[in-house]
Structure 1
Amino acid sequence: LLPYLKIYVDKNKGRNGAYILAGSQMFNLMEGISETLTGRAVLFELLGFSFKELFKHNLADHTTKDCFASIYKGFFPEPCVHNVELNSFYGSYIQTYLERDIRQIRSVHDLRLFQQFLELLAARVGSLLNLNEISKECAISHTTAKNWLSLLESTRIVYLLRPYFKNVAKRVIKSPKIYFTDTGLLAYILKYPDYRTLQSGPIAGAVFENMLVMEVLKNKFNASKRFELYLYRDSNRNEVDLLLDFGFKVILIEIKLTKSLQERDWEALLRIQKTLKAAEAYIASLVENEIALEKNIRAIPWWKIEKVLK
């Protein structure tokens, strides 16, 4: 197909957007595009639905229960729009991913071990990644773990939020945080039976954080915005969940699964603001309305996180 599209595009250079190619099998598609359609195609990366796409009604009416129901369901079209049964959909998704995509990669010989590796990553969502620890638990070499992680990242199963350093060369040698690109898939891998168990479980805060980090990433992709996402953690253990680097400015976002914010929740933000000279900082949480906490620090409802990017 792609060679014929190349002929058409070259003959009709004034007509843009004549064809839209979509699909989840990215290895073969990207290989074909790079070989035949270089300079002739615009690439858009689409994750699951964003809040804006999925929720047409007023999100201010969303309770914490509704929030976790959405987290548990995930943001793929099939469960969200077509109400496909969740266990059936995600079970088939994992099986298809392992049998179709992964079998094409020669570095994965034992799919059972690979699935165990995936489960160990899921259990550490929202945490700094320690590949040495995971490789030992999974009884694989560090090199294999590194290769498998790269595979999961390139196929958009996981997302690595890398740390921010003023020295760019240092960014790639520090531990990133691990997230999953869809929270429904994450909940399925972790074997949560329903959203209530997830909401009351030990990683509720981490999956809430996962959802909001992905929402920012979706906004970046969908609107083709030019900023990068990082985590920030300095030698004094001052940490913020998200640092958005626009080049000419940075924005700090802390994510808290709580309605009752205390002063200690934004003390680190104040210190990091002074270090980076960041003009804006936000805490995205379960608060119902925007609250001015300090001169340049605001608490915002979780569903308003897109406002930060405008």
Structure 2
Amino acid sequence: MIERNHKHRIGRSLEEAPAVVLLGPRQIGKTTLAREIASESPGSVYLDLEDPADAALLSDPGRYLDLHAGSLLILDEVQRVPGLFQVLRGRIDARRREGHRTRQFLLLGSASTTLLNQSAESLAGRALYYELPGLDATEVGGRRDALWVRGGFPDAFTAASDAGSGRWRLALIRTYLEREIALFATRLPAETLRRFWTMLAHRQGGLLNASALAQSLGVSSPTVSRYVDLLVNLMLVRRLQPYFANVGKRLIKTPKIYIRDSGIVHSLLGLRTLEDVLSHPVAGPSWEGFVVENLLSAAPFGTDAWFYRTRAGAEIDLLLAPPDQRLRAIEIKRSSAPRTSKGFEIATGDLDVTERFVVYPGNREFPLSARTLAIPLEALMERLAYPDFV
């Protein structure tokens, strides 16, 4: 079993709040991690609300919660019982009055927007929200390329072969298309969404052009926006927003779109091996998306992320503002001999940037200029992580 860095962060969050909401797509490892936490918390209780037997235990939720007062109660797929949040609120407040302020509930969910909307009012000021990403480059023992090709879903990464990993990912895609998405969009044809998802894979890291996608699919632009919203809600797609600054230049104001898991990108495009990926035009954009997800996985809680691009072509692939709010500019290169682009130099000159990095697939750090450092992905992840979160 791969030791997850995020276990310590989640444990810390449980010590700071009565409820922690753990978000993440299906099969990303939430349940495994929650069970590990449970094994270290004597008397804890785990319920899977997709299991009718477990869900039946909450037919009278107030009574059940009172029965297990004082224990850490872990509720999986909690978005399936939206009425539960009001009951949780009452029990949290009652226990607060008794002096119990932390480690009461760990709530797991696989639909971020849905779960946030359900819990926002009831658990306001009572819960911390934590998103569990896929496996990252610091967790896989130097197998960065394998992680890039197979993606961060644990079962996909640990498969016995590339072919086995590919079969697992195709099965996951089919599960989402045939089962999961129907829970949130009952009238959405699976084949249409499969085509849309594949189109996004071909356009990995590109600007969202809803009208072009709509024309290709034969639907309206608002329909495409709903498709994107759905995949963002399921934490399968990232919508990276542009950074706005008063720099006296015309700025791109359209978000960039990434399929968040590189393995899903490759499966949608029929790519199984590293050689397949490297020989395909998606290699550069796929590597960019992989780096973006890994860096955001390592960044401390509260980090803001954007890209920056002017209509004249000045661009920063990823602009990060951790809680100290000092901007870090990152250019992403799939080259063993990276150089900064002219557009990056211009863009970083436009903004008040504290540090400049070029992430590349090598293993050594070296200066590209007096202000810019070429750096391996794992090294930058370690720089970004605050020591007390590592």
TM-score by length of 2: 0.68
Range 22-31 or range 198-207, more displaced: 22-31
Counterparts of 1:226-265 in structure 2 under 5 Å?
226-246=302-322, 248-262=325-339, 265=340
- Find out whether 1:103 has 2:182 as its counterpart: yes
- Work out which of the residue numbers 181, 184, 187 in structure 1 matches 2:266: 187
Cα distance change on mapping 1:107 and 1:164 into 2, 3 Å: farther
Cα distance change on mapping 1:109 and 1:127 into 2, 3 Å: closer
Deviation of 1:6 (Å): 3.7
Structure 2 segments unaligned to the other structure (5+ residues): 1-60, 62-83, 386-390
Counterparts of 1:1-310 in structure 2 under 5 Å?
1=61, 2=84, 4-13=87-96, 14-26=100-112, 29-30=115-116, 32-34=118-120, 36-52=122-138, 54-55=139-140, 57=141, 59=142, 66-81=143-158, 85-106=164-185, 108-166=187-245, 174-220=253-299, 223-224=300-301, 226-246=302-322, 248-262=325-339, 265-310=340-385
Aligned length: 295
Deviation of 1:140 (Å): 0.9
Indicate conservation of the 8 Å contact 1:212/1:305, yes or no: no
Deviation of 1:107 (Å): 7.2
**Secondary structure of 2:368's partner?**
strand
Deviation of 1:229 (Å): 1.1
Range 74-83 or range 108-117, more displaced: 74-83
- Which amino acid counterpart does residue 259 of structure 1 have in structure 2? S
Range 132-141 or range 239-248, more displaced: 239-248
- Cα distance between partner residues in 1 of 2:90 and 2:241: 41
- Cα distance between partner residues in 2 of 1:132 and 1:290: 42
Indicate conservation of the 8 Å contact 1:164/1:232, yes or no: yes
Structure 1 segments unaligned to the other structure (5+ residues): 60-65
- Cα distance between partner residues in 1 of 2:230 and 2:252: 19
- Which amino acid counterpart does residue 233 of structure 1 have in structure 2? R
- Cα distance between partner residues in 1 of 2:148 and 2:169: 14
Deviation of 1:213 (Å): 0.3
Indicate conservation of the 8 Å contact 1:128/1:175, yes or no: yes
Aligned identity (percent) is: 28
- Cα distance between partner residues in 2 of 1:128 and 1:152: 16
CA RMSD of aligned residues (A): 2.8
- Cα distance between partner residues in 2 of 1:161 and 1:307: 22
Indicate conservation of the 8 Å contact 1:47/1:181, yes or no: no
- Which amino acid counterpart does residue 92 of structure 2 have in structure 1? V
- Cα distance between partner residues in 2 of 1:173 and 1:146: 18
- Which amino acid counterpart does residue 317 of structure 2 have in structure 1? D
- Cα distance between partner residues in 2 of 1:250 and 1:103: 40
CA deviations over 1:47-100 (Å, ceiling 9, x no partner): 212223x22x4x4xxxxxx53322121111222357593234222322222233
Cα distance change on mapping 1:41 and 1:197 into 2, 3 Å: same
Deviation of 1:197 (Å): 0.6
Range 229-238 or range 251-260, more displaced: 229-238
Cα distance change on mapping 1:244 and 1:110 into 2, 3 Å: same
Indicate conservation of the 8 Å contact 1:68/1:196, yes or no: no
Larger Rg: 2
Indicate conservation of the 8 Å contact 1:269/1:281, yes or no: no
- Which amino acid counterpart does residue 22 of structure 1 have in structure 2? L
- Which amino acid counterpart does residue 277 of structure 2 have in structure 1? L
Deviation of 1:180 (Å): 1.4
Deviation of 1:45 (Å): 1.2
Higher helix share: 1
Indicate conservation of the 8 Å contact 1:163/1:171, yes or no: no
Indicate conservation of the 8 Å contact 1:68/1:198, yes or no: no
Range 172-181 or range 146-155, more displaced: 172-181
